[in-house]
Amino acid sequence: MSDGRPDETPSTEVAAHQDVCERSAARSRRHQNLRRPAPTHTDREAPGGCTHARRFPVSQPLVSNPTQALIARRAGVSVATVSKVLNGRSDVSASTKERVERMAENVGYRKPPGYARSTPAKIVSLMAGPLSALEVGQLVQETEKAMSRWGYNIVLSVNSDDSSGCLSDKHLTDELIRSAAGVLCCFVDMGPTEVSRLADNGVPCMCIVGDGGAAPGLLAVNAQFQSAGYAVTEHLLGLGHRRIALLGAGRHHASSRSWLEGHHVAMDASGVSPVREYAEIAGSPRLDAFEKASRLLSLPMPPTAFVACTDTVALEVYRALVERGLRVPQDVSVAGLGDLDVSVRTSLTGVRQSFTDLAAVAAGALVAEIEGGDGRRRAGCSLDMPTDLVVRTSTGPPPSGRRGENP
C-alpha cells in the first residue's frame, strides 16, 4: 500500500554486487577469446575433404630459401642486427629483438647446421689486394692502430697473386665468416657472390677502393686515384714537361687503371697527345718497374718526367736514374703518391693520400656497422677522400733544350 512516498529502489549493496558480477562475466568472455587458438590449415577442410598435414597460422606464410637479408628487409633493420639477434647477442633492444624473431619465424628461417658466429671475439679480417711490401706494411700498421681504438684486433690476408685482383674462396673461408666480427677489404675486387655470402651471414663489410669500384651493396671509402693522376700530371705540364711517362704498379693494382685515366684526362685537357709507349703498366710493383723505366730512358727521345702510381715504383725509377748518372730533378723529374715514410725522406713530389686517414675513416665506418643497432645500414654509400698535391724537390722544369714535344 502506498503511503504517499515514492517506491523504494534496491539497496546500494545489491546494485554494487550486480555490477561486479557483470564485469566479471565480461572479463571471462574476453579471456576465453584470447585463449582460442589462431585458425590453422588443419582447422579447416581443404577441397575434397582432406586436411593439411602441416600446421601453421594462415597469416604467417613460409618463404622458400629465407635468408637473413630477407629478414632484415622485412623487419626494417640491418643484416648485422639480425645476426646479433639470432646469435643471442645482448646489445639489441627488446623491441628490435622481438620484431626480428617474429619475422624470422614468419618466413620460416632456420640457421644452417653447425653455424655459429663467434661475435664476442672482436676480430676484423683485413684483406689486402696486390700491394707492395711497403704499402702492406704501412696499411697494416695504420689499420691496426685505428681498430685498436675500439678494442678490435685484425687478422691479415694478402692477395699477392697479380694474376687476379679478385677475392677468392681461399680468402673468404667459412671459418672466417663464422669468427670475424667484420671484414675490411683494401683494394680487393669483391663480386656479388662474395657480397651475398657476407650479407646472408650477417658479416659487415667495408671496402677501400680506387675510384668507386666497390660492388653494389657495400660501404666504401674512395681513394680517388684518378684525381691523383690528374693532379700530378697537371703539375708536371705546368712546369713545362711534355714528354711525361706513367708507370703503373701492376695490371690489377688498385691505382694503376685510375692513375692512367687521370693522366690521360690531364694530357688531353692541355692539348698534349700522350705517347702509348710512355704509359707502362709494370707486371709487379718492384720487379718490372726498374726494367721498364730503364727501357724508357734508353729511347731516342726519353721522357723528361715520370709519374709513378705508387711510391715503390717511384723508388725503382730513382734506381734506374742513378744507374745512368741522371739527377733528380735537374735531368728528370719524378712524382708519385708521395705518402709513405720513405717517400717523405726522399722528398718525392706526390699526392697526399694518407693510409692513416684511409684506415681511420674505414675503421670507424666498419665499427659503426658492426656495433650499430639502429638498422640504418649505409651500404652502397661512397665516402670520397680528398687528394692534396704536395710539391717537394723531386720535380722541376725540364732541362734546357729537352722540353720538346712528344715524338
* Percent of all residues in the chain with a pLDDT value above 90, rounded to a whole number: 20
Residue 26 banded pLDDT, cuts 50, 70, 90: low
Region 354-365: mean pLDDT is 85
Q: What is the pLDDT of residues 288-336, one digit of tens each?
A: 889 989 999 999 999 999 998 888 888 899 999 999 999 999 999 999 8
List of residues 6+ apart from 304 with CB closer than 8 A: 241, 242, 243, 244, 332, 333, 398, 399, 402, 403
Give dist(CA 246, CA 225) in Å, integer. Answer: 14
Task: Indicate the pLDDT class of residue 118, thresholds 50, 70 and 90.
Answer: very low
What's the alpha-carbon Rg for the chain, to the nearest Å? 34
Cβ(55)–Cβ(40) under 8 Å? Answer: yes
**pLDDT classification of 253: cutoffs 50, 70, 90:** low
CA distance 306 to 304: 7
pLDDT for position 217: 67
Domains of the chain: 225-352 (3.40.50.2300)
**Grid coordinates belonging to 257:** 687503371
- Given its phi and psi angles, is residue 45 left (phi above 0), alpha (psi -120 to 50 degrees) or beta? beta
- For 126, the 3-state DSSP assignment is strand
Q: In terms of Cα–Cα distance, which of 72, 102, 376, 201 is closest to 94?
A: 102
- Residue 8 pLDDT level (bands cut at 50, 70, 90): very low
Rounded to an integer, what distance in angstroms lies between the CA atom of residue 136 and that of residue 149? 20
* pLDDT at residue number 302: 93
Q: What is the pLDDT of residue 114?
A: 44
pLDDT at 65 over 60: yes
> Torsion over CA of 372, 375, 376 and 377, rounded to 10 degrees?
80
Question: What is the C-alpha to C-alpha distance for residues 29 and 34, in angstroms, rounded to an integer?
Answer: 9
Query: How many helices, marked H, and strands, marked E, lie in the chain?
Result: 13, 12
What pLDDT does 256 receive? Answer: 73
pLDDT at 39 (0 to 100): 45
Q: What pLDDT digit, counting tens, does each position of 79-99 carry?
A: 778 877 876 666 678 899 889
Is 228 within 8 Å of 314 (Cβ atoms)?
no
Give the separation between CA 355 and CA 340, rounded to whole angstroms: 8
Instruction: Categorize the per-residue pLDDT at 283 as very low, low, confident or very high, splitting at 50, 70 and 90.
Output: very low
Q: Among the listed ranges 143-152, 159-168, 355-364, 365-374, which one has the minimum average pLDDT value?
A: 159-168
Is residue 171's pLDDT more than 70?
Answer: no
State pTM to two decimals. Answer: 0.65
